[in-house]
Structure 1
Amino acid sequence: MPNNPKVHYIPANPPKREKRVGIYCRVSTNSLEQLQSLTAQVSHLTRLTAAVPQWLLSDVYMDIATSKTGSSRKEFNRMLEDCKSHKLEIVITKDVSRFGRDTVEVLDAFNQLKALGVRVIFEGNSLDTANTSSDLMVAVIESIAQAENESRSENIKWGIKQRAAEGTSKLYDRKCYGYKHNEDGHLVIDEETAKNVKLIYDLYLSGQSVVGIIKELAKRKIFSPKGKENWNKRSIEWILSNEKYTGNVELLKSSKSEVHYLASGSHPAIISKEVFEAVQIEKTQRSNVVKGEDGIKRKSEKYSSKKMK
C-alpha cells in the first residue's frame, strides 16, 4: 500500500485592504479636556477601522478650533481635496456635530461628500450612507443637529444660572459708566466719571427733567459715555434706573416669573440706596402714565421742570 501523503494546511489569503478610509475628528477648543477628547476620538475610530479587514486607514484629519482661528476647518478641507483626488472612499467621524457648528454647515459637508461618491459613517449616531437613503439621512441629520443645538443651549443657560447662583458670574463685574476694572477684573469706582453720575442724580432730584440734565451736562462740557458732546435721553434714563450704582447687581431678571439673583454689596456704591429709591419714586410721580382700575391712562399734562421754578 502506498504511504499516506503528507497534507499541508494552506490558509486562505487574507482579504485585501482595498477600501481607503479617512478619519475626521474635531473639537471646539484647545483646552486640555477637549484635546483628551480628540485623542479618544482618534483612538476609538482607528480601532474601528482596523477591525474591518477590507478597510485601509489612509489618513487622519484633526481640526482644533481656537479663539484665534474660530471655526477654521483646514483639515476638513484637506480631507475634501483627498476625496476629490480619489484618495479616500470612506470617511468616518464620531457624530454629526463634528461636521459643523450648525445644521447648514453639516448638510453642506455631507452633500459635498455625497457628490463625490464617498461613503460617510457617523459612528456615534449609527448612521451610514451605505445603508441609509439620502433623504432619510438628511432628515436624521437635521433632527440630530437640532436636538444637539437645543441641548447645547440648555447647557449654556444652566451654566449661566449656576454661576449666577454661586456668585462667580463675570456678569456681576460688567463695567458701566462710573466704574472701571482693577487688576483682578473687579469693579472699582472711577472717580472722574463717578462724580458725573452723582451730578445726574442730584440734578434730577432738584427738579431737572432728563432734557434739562442733558443741557446742563453740555453746558458743563461733560462728555457722554461714548465721548460725545451731547448725551442722549436713553443714557440718562439708564443711569437713573441702574441699581448697580448702589453696589447691588441683579442677574437674569426678566418680565417672566423666573428665578433671578441679587448680589448685594458686590462692588463699591456710587449712589446711596436712599437716593436711588428717591429717584425711582420721583420718576413714578413724573410719569404721564397712570395705572388704575380702568387700566393704563395718560395724564393730561406732562412733567416740566419749568413749573418747578
Structure 2
Amino acid sequence: MKIIAYIYTDPLLDASPGEINWEWDVERVYEDLGKRSQLVKLLTDCQTEPPDYLIMRHLSELGDNVEEVSDRLNQLEAMGVRVIATEQAYNSGTDHLRADLLKLLQEIQLQQRSNRIRQGHARNRLDAAPPPGKAPYGYRRGKEKYIIDRTTAPVVKDFFEHFLLYGSLRGSVRYLGKKYGKKISVTTGKRWLTNPVYRGDTAYHNGEIISDTHIAVISRDEAAQIDRLLRRNSRLPSRTASAPRSLAGLVVCQQCQSHMTVTRVTQRHQDQEYLYLRPINCPQHPKCRAIAYQEILERTIAKVCCDLPLAVAGINFPQLNTVKNSLKEAIATQQEILQKLPNLVETGILDPETAKLRAYKLHTEISALQAKLATLPPVNLLSVAQAVSIPQFWLDLSEAERRFYFREFISQIAIIRQNQDWDLQVIFIF
C-alpha cells in the first residue's frame, strides 16, 4: 500500500508547519511554499504510478479557488487515489453524499475569500503600510504611511511631555482637558503612551512591529523613559501615581506590613495644616502611630543622598554594557542583511516576493531587539546618581518634581519602628 502526503503553505499567512505526524506510514511528502510546483509534480507522478492514498490537512490546499480544488480532486479520484483531509474529516473512499461535498466546497470558498482579504493585509505589511482602520489621533493616513496631523499632533506631544515631567497618567489626562478641552479617558491616555505609532513604528494585529515607518511624535529615549515610568507606576497602590505628595504610595510600615497614606490635619480657625503618614490597614492593637510627613521626607532625602551612590556602584556595569553591545551588534547584523537583499534580487538569487518576506522578518526582529535594548537602565545612571545625591537638589524641587525622581529610583520606603523611636530603610529599584 503506497501512501503519499501533500502540504501547501501560503508564506503570507502561515509559517511552514515543519514535521507533521500523519500517523500513517507515508512514503513521500510533496511540499509547496507559495507556489504549487510540487502539486503539479504530484499529479504527474500519479499518472504514471498512482498511490493508494493521498493525505493532506485541508482540501483547500489543492488550489486558490473552488474550481481548482474541485478539478484536482476529480483528477485524483479518477486515477483511483483515495484523498483524505485529516482536518476536515474528508475521505473519498467513504460514501459521501453529493450534498456533503457541496457543503464542504462552500466552506472552502468562504475560507478562501477570507484568505484573499488576509493576503491583501499581509502584502500591506510587507510594504510597511498602515493597517486598516482610522489613524491614531495626531496622525492622518497617507498613501503609504501615517502622516503627522499638524493641528492635533501638538496636543499629543504636550500630553507626552506632561507625563514625562510629572509621571502621572491621570494628571496628564486632566491637563489635556483643561488646556485643550480634549477629554479622553485614563484608558485612552495609557493607550496613547504605549502606542507604537507615536514612536514612529507600525504595529499589526499579529503583534509584530516594524520600526521607523513614519515620523514619530516622541523620541526613542522619551519612549524608553515612558515605559520605565509605566512599569514603576504599576508597582504602586491604585491612584497614588497622581497623588500630590512625593512619598504617596512608597511608604510601608514594616511592623504591620500596611501601606501608609498621607493625611492632612488642620485646626479650627487656623490656616496652617499638618501632614502625617499613617498605616491604612493596621491590624495591631494599639495601632501603629502616625508619623509626621516632613520628618519622613527629610530622612528619606538623607538616606537617598547617602545610599544611592553605593547602590548604583553595586550594579555590574561591565556586564550591562556587554548585554547592550550584544544587542547593538545583533541589530547591526540584521541591518547588514537588509542592505544585501536588493543585490540578491538583482542577481536572481531571490525573487522580489521572497525578498519582501525576508525584509519584513528582519524588520520585526530588529524592532524586537530595539525593544529589549530600551528596557535596560540608561547608560548615564552613575552620573545621574551623583547629581541627585546632593541634598540641595531635592530641596529645590517641587513636590511633583520630587515625586517623579523618588519613583525613578525608589521601590519602597520601609518604616522600622523601635519602641517609641523609628528609622527607615530605602529600597531602590535596581
Q: Normalization by structure 1: what TM-score?
A: 0.43
